[in-house]
Amino acid sequence: VREYATLKEKIENIPDDLKRVDILVNNAGLAIGLDKLYLNQREDVDNVLDTNVKGAIYMLELIVPKMLENGVKGTIINMGSVAGNSAYAGGAVYCASKAAIKTISDGLRIDLVDKDIRVTTILPGMVETDFSLVRFKGDSARAKSVYTGIEPLTPEDVADTVIYVSNLPHNIQITDLVLTPLHQADGRCIHKI
């Protein structure tokens, strides 16, 4: 999602019978490392911001006009994170990128207030995916340790939430939906057994 021209070409080449978009889920996201902000590698910062923020904006720029053109009663779900609500050590860039997603959603909701397209930000807490493996650049032992001592959410939990939001009567717009594992209070407070 980082390359606008590539995204545009792929979307333009979707077969006509699949071009109508009723639901957009902006879910691309990553974090790299846990360095202090002033020690981050420039390439890592660019990768995080280009993927998490610019990629979401690019998709919105490409898809929302098509939704409006087709007159759909649409749903846009942007995947944020509880990390966007409060920074944690070594996570300044990732946290900022997810705070941006919430703000982008809020602004888009205002832009679309007179349209039949609802905008939701889902803000998951800890979800066991390859997220930590990417963050720690393939260090599987370190990635696995993130989930030790807590039962994290699963990708299926998040998918069920997307389905729930999408299937609500269209007059209901959930602006923000936070979901965390039982023993996670926010982006920083996690109880491990």
Enumerate the domain spans of the chain: 4-179
**Is 98 labeled as catalytic in the residue annotation?**
yes
- In Å, what is the CA distance from 19 to each residue of 80, 119, 165, 188? 26, 20, 22, 41
Report the mean per-residue pLDDT for the chain.
96
pLDDT (tens digit per residue) in 8-47: 999 999 998 888 999 999 999 999 999 999 999 999 999 9
**pLDDT tens digits along 83-117:** 999 999 999 999 999 999 999 999 999 999 999 99
pLDDT at 74: 97
pLDDT of residue 188: 84
**What predicted TM-score, i.e. pTM, was given to this entire model?**
0.94
Q: Are 104 and 57 in contact (CB under 8 A)?
A: yes
The verdict on whether 10 is a catalytic residue reads no
Mean pLDDT across the stretch 167-184?
97
Q: Looking at 4, 58, 66, 98, which residue is catalytic?
A: 98
Q: Which two tokens stand for residue 108?
A: 């888009």
In the chain, pLDDT over 90 holds for what percent of residues? 94
Q: What pLDDT, on a 0 to 100 scale, did the predictor assign at position 118?
A: 99
Instruction: Give the residue carrying structure tokens 């939704």.
Output: 67
For residue 186, name the pLDDT band (cuts at 50, 70, 90): confident
Task: Give how far Cα 43 sits from Cα of 26, 49, 98, 99, 132, Å.
Answer: 23, 10, 18, 20, 18
End-to-end CA distance of the chain: 37
Interacting residues of 184 by C-beta distance below 8 A, sequence separation 6+: 82, 125, 126, 150, 190, 191
| Tokens linked to 25 | 């889920």
Residue from 36, 54, 94, 102 carrying the catalytic annotation: 94
The fold of 4-179 is: Rossmann fold (3.40.50)
Single-letter residue type at 124: P
Region 156-162: what's the mean pLDDT?
Answer: 98
Alpha helices (H) in the chain, listed in sequence order: 4-12, 42-49, 55-70, 92-111, 131-135, 140-145, 155-167
